[in-house]
């Protein structure tokens, strides 16, 4: 199969790769769509992460099941699925406490196991999620980043009617916007430097958009909310320019 492999900073090559072996309890997925994550960009710009043990990228992807291994009960050929990229060990302290996302021994498709920037991925049965009939495979590739946003909103304990601020309106910020609205946020402030992204945020229901270049975002939000929002999310991850 063809796969996109990362060798280092600014060095990704589309090459031939072996299709991983279909073991018991696993399914082979023909990849249809795969998203480029911010972390893929980091690796592309700055070099690979220490946790990477193989080169095939891609951890936000969807596709169609083309083969099932022995013992698989929850999938059949033709199923449309999204893939959960995290493979927790199930044994470490964090896993035992239910925090599988913080597993200290975690493996992952696109990092330690061949990922979704390839024609095929072989994944554990428990890592697939069936897409509803009315959801396209294209949207299926957004299930993973959407789960990130939904988890963040749950962690924030935002309540019906609360106000929220989101710093950064890239894909994660825009998904957070939709998640806080679904959770019942009354007012949502988006802080974003890009005009295009601010427009998209308005389209998706932001009540206020702020360009932090030229406006003191924190002062503006405090003024509009009588002291501050109930919850705030950092989806930008940038430092203030130390030279300013």
Q: Which stretch binds Zn ion (CB under 5 A): 42-50, 94-102, 170-178, 208-216?
A: 94-102
Q: Which stretch binds Zn ion (CB under 5 A): 38-46, 61-69, 166-174, 228-236?
A: 38-46
Which CB, 34 or 229, lies closer to Zn ion?
A: 34
Per the CB < 8 A criterion, the answer to whether 26 and 124 are in contact is yes
Considering only residues 27, 103, 131, 164, which one is a binding residue for Zn ion as defined by CB under 5 A? 103
Which CB, 89 or 193, lies closer to Zn ion?
A: 89
Which CB, 113 or 188, lies closer to Zn ion?
A: 113
* Residue 150 interacts with Zn ion (CB under 5 A): yes or no: no
Q: What is the DSSP string of the chain?
A: -EEEEEEETTEEEEEE-PPPP--TTEEEEEEEEE---HHHHHHHHH---TT--S-B---SEEEEEEEE-TT--S--TT-EEEE--EE--S-SHHHHTT-GGG-TT-EEBTTTB--SSBSEEEEEGGGEEEPPTTS-HHHHTTHHHHHHHHHHHHHHT--TT-EEEEE--SHHHHHHHHHHHHTT-SEEEEE-S-HHHHHHHHHTT-SEEE-TTTS-HHHHHHHHTTS--SEEEE-S-PPP-TT-
Considering only residues 19, 22, 92, 236, which one is a binding residue for Zn ion as defined by CB under 5 A? 92
Considering only residues 4, 65, 75, 95, which one is a binding residue for Zn ion as defined by CB under 5 A? 95
Which CB, 143 or 217, lies closer to Zn ion?
A: 143
Which CB, 117 or 189, lies closer to Zn ion?
A: 117
Residue 8 CB, shortest distance to Zn ion, in Å, is 19
Residue 68 CB, shortest distance to Zn ion, in Å, is 26
User: What residues make contact with Zn ion under the rule CB under 5 A?
Assistant: 37, 39, 88-89, 92, 95, 103, 105
């Amino acid at each position: 199969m063809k796969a996109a492999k990362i060798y280092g900073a600014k060095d990704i090559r589309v090459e031939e790769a072996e299709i991983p072996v279909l073991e018991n309890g696993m399914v082979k997925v023909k990849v249809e769509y795969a998203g480029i994550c911010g972390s893929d960009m980091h690796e592309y710009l700055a070099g690979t992460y220490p946790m990477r043990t193989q080169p095939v990228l891609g951890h936000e992807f969807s596709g169609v099941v083309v083969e099932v291994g022995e013992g698989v009960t929850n999938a059949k050929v033709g199923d449309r699925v999204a893939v959960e990229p995290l493979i927790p060990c199930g044994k470490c302290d964090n896993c035992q406490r239910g925090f599988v996302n913080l597993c200290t021994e975690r493996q992952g498709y696109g990092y330690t196991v061949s990922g979704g920037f390839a024609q095929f991925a072989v994944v554990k049965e428990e890592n697939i999620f069936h897409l509803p009939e009315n959801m396209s495979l294209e949207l299926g590739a957004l299930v993973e980043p959407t789960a990130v946003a939904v988890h963040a909103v749950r962690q924030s304990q935002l309540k019906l009617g609360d106000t929220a601020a989101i710093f950064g309106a890239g894909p994660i910020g825009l998904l957070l916007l939709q998640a806080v609205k679904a959770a019942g946020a009354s007012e949502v402030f988006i802080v974003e430097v890009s005009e295009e992204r601010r427009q998209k945020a308005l389209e998706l229901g932001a009540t206020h958009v702020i360009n932090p270049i030229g406006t003191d975002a924190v002062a503006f939000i405090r003024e509009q909310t009588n002291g501050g929002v109930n919850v705030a999310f950092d989806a930008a991850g940038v430092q203030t320019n130390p030279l300013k």
